[in-house]
Amino acid sequence: MKGLLKKIKLFYWLNIASPQKYARHIGVTIGKNCRIKTRNWGGEPYLISIGDNVAVTNDVFVHTHGGGRVARAEHPNFDVFGKVVIEDWAYIGAYSQIMPGVTIGEGALVAAGSIVTKSVAPHTVVGGNPARYICTTEEYYERNKKYDIGTYGLSNAEKKKVLLSLPDEKFMKK
């Protein structure tokens, strides 16, 4: 019976609890008004802190350790760790990876699929593998303000109605 109860609890945390509730449960420090969409917090989630108004989107992986195994033949107890800090108003795009010791600065944007190996300055946009500087967040806004529809906060039905009524030039093109 004890084993079944343990499996039920694990199922709850991994499948029913929200990703944000799960992250807090395992020790990630999370500020107010955050949108957390990942469950990938590495082996030491208590080394991760997230500020207020942060978005960590789908399938982001945050690492707090790594590489120790290569030194263990000569140094059996070798282990290295780095705290990860994501400051207020940061945005981490889907499928990105944040490596140990990295700080994502206030208001920074990490593009989807990025591998962040170095700390990111506040109010900058980075992307790629390894992630590199692209522009400031103000430059990002200036480049994209012509596509701003102003639908944030609308219901899905209201947003759909607006988006389906727009001409093609209101949508981004790459």
65 contacts 82 by C-beta, under 8 angstroms: yes
CB burial class (10 A; 0-12, 13-18, 19+) of residue 29? Answer: middle
Is 75 an active-site residue? no
How far from each other are the two terminal CA atoms of the chain, in whole angstroms?
A: 56
Rounded Cα gap, residues 89 and 82, in angstroms: 22
Catalytic residue among 63, 65, 75, 123: 65
Rounded Cα gap, residues 119 and 109, in angstroms: 12
The set of catalytic residues is 65
